[in-house]
Amino acid sequence: MLLSDEELARLQSVAPFLRSEAHSALEAEASYEVTMELESHLQPGLRIRAPESARTSADADAPPYPLDLFVGLPLSELRALSHADDATREADIARFGARFSPRLLRAIATMTPHEIDLDAGVQSEAGTLSVMLDED
């Protein structure tokens, strides 16, 4: 079951922190735009995109394409965050940030080789690619 409307509303307050932690974890990579997607009818997650300048300057008809990656976040972790008290929530957010990059790299490793080049901020196919983080 996806998250309830009440859980999604509670997660709105932690979304900026999760985005910030994910962005910090990717700091060694290109300066990605990281947004949180919380919709009641979809898998919640983060969208990682190449900077706007890379998306507009790339040839839209030829690979490599600028990175547009949706990273699904485990519902159990988001549900725990939505029900946590302040102290537990802060610790969970910090743990998320510390483990985000290795989990993302593991998820990307399951894709076809060269499908995503995270260092360069490009992908081999047009459109949005999706991965799911493993359970923490």
Average pLDDT of span 43-49: 92
Q: Is the pLDDT of residue 58 over 60?
A: no
Q: 1 pLDDT band (50/70/90 cuts)?
A: low
Tokens representing residue 104 in the block? 């993302």
Q: Using an 8 Å Cβ cutoff, are 67 and 121 in contact?
A: yes
What would the pLDDT profile of 71-100 be if each residue is shown by its tens digit? Answer: 999 999 999 999 999 889 999 999 998 899
pLDDT at 63: 81
> Residue 48: its pLDDT value, please?
92
Strand arrangement of the beta sheet that strand 129-132 belongs to = 33-37, 45-49, 68-72, 129-132
pTM of the entire structure?
0.85
Query: Which of the four pLDDT bands, split at 50, 70 and 90, describes residue 30?
Result: low
25 DSSP assignment: H
Check if the beta carbon of residue 108 is closer than 8 Å to that of residue 132.
Answer: no
Instruction: Find the range with the poorest average confidence among 37-41, 60-64, 121-125.
Output: 60-64
Per-residue pLDDT at 132 exceeds 80: yes
Instruction: Using pLDDT thresholds of 50, 70 and 90, give the confidence band for residue 37.
Output: very high
Average pLDDT on 49-55 reads: 74
Residue 13 has pLDDT above 60, yes or no: yes
